[in-house]
Amino acid sequence: MASLKKILVTGADGFIGSHLTEHLIRTGYDVRAFVLYNSFNTWGWLDRASPDVRDNLDVFAGDIRDPNGVRRAVQGCEVVLHLAALIAIPYSYHSPDTYVDTNVKGTLNVVQAARDLGARVVHTSTSEVYGTARTVPIREDHPLQAQSPYSASKIGADQIALSFHLSFGTPVSVLRPFNTYGPRQSARAVIPSIVTQIAAGKRAIKLGALHPTRDFNFVADTVRAFEAVMKSEAAVGQVLNAGSGFEISIGETAKLIAQTMNADVRIETDEARLRPETSEVERLVADASRLHALTGWTPEYGGPEGLRRGIAQTVEWFSAPANLSAYKADIYNI
C-alpha cells in the first residue's frame, strides 16, 4: 500500500490532524503523531481514538516552536504533513506575536529539519491568505492579502516553506484547504458554533456577519487531499487549493443547520463576533482544478447535496451528549 517508511503529522492532536492521523493509520501507514506538550499528558482528540488507532500511535509530545524538538520528531520520517498552527482569527487580533512564533517560526523549524534530514513536507495553508475574492473562483495565482494577523502569519509560513523548495530543493507542497468543517472542530468556527448552540437548547443563536460567503469542505475530503498530495510527485513545488467550488453565505448555512436539526431559531448579531470592517473576508470560493489535475482528487461532499450530507454527519456527532459536553456552548470562543 504505502511504500513510505514513516509519516510525521504535526498538529495531530487537533481537529483536522486527528482525522488525518486516524485515516493514515487505518490505511496502513506508519505514523508519528506530533502533539503539543502539556503537563496533563493529553493528546487532544487522539485521547478519544479507538483502540485500532491508539495501539498503533507513535506519539511525540513537543512544541512546534522548538527547533530541537522538531528535529527529533522529523528524524526517521520520510514525509512531514505539517498542520500544527494557531488558527483562530479573533485570537490573532488579541495575541498576534504568538501567531508569528507558532505559524512562521514553527514552519521554519519544520522545513529546516526536513532539509537537513531529507524529508518531504506538505505544508498546510488556508484560503484566508487570499482575503476577499477579487476574481472567482479563486485560483492559486490570486493575489494574497493579509486581512488579519492570522492570515499574515500564514502567508509568511507559506512563503518560508516555498522558499526552501526554491532555495535548497527541499520537496515542499503547499495545500490550501478552504473552510473545513466536521466532527471535533472548535466551536470558535461558525458551523460548530451554530450546531452547539442549537444542540444545547438555545433558539436565539448568536452570530457575527451573515452575508460573507464561504466554500465549506467536509473534513473527510480535506484528509483525502492531504493523502493525494503526499502521494503525488507532480505536487512537489506546487500550491494547491482544496475546495468544493460551491459557495454559501453564513446566513444560509445557519438556516441549513437549523433545518437539519428541526429547530426554529432566530439569529441575533453578537458585536463581539464581528471582525473589524476591513478585516472581514467577504467571499471565498475555490478553483481546485490544479489539485484534481495533479492528483485526481475530487470532493466527495461537493455541491449543495454534499454540504447537506456533511452537515448531517456533523450535527449527529455534536448532538451526542458525550461530545457536546466537551464544548462550552454558552460562551463565545475566540
> DSSP label at 188?
T
The grid cell for 226 is: 492531504
**Phi then psi for 61, rounded to 5 degrees?**
-95, 120
Cβ–Cβ < 8 Å for 78, 4: yes
Q: How far is CA 300 from CA 96, 126, 191, 308, in A?
A: 35, 20, 19, 12
Look up cell 499528558; give the residue. 41
**Rounded distance between C-alpha atoms, residue 207 and residue 51, angstroms:** 38
Active-site residue, selected from the candidate residues 29, 99, 130, 150: 150
Cβ–Cβ < 8 Å for 207, 254: yes
Q: Annotated catalytic, 91?
A: no
Exposed/middle/buried for residue 271 (C-beta within 10 Å: 0-12, 13-18, 19+):
exposed
The grid cell for 54 is: 491508539
- ∠ Cα 198 199 205 (to 5°): 15
Q: How far is CA 90 from CA 67, 194, 197, 272, in A?
A: 27, 17, 19, 9
Residues marked active site are found at 150
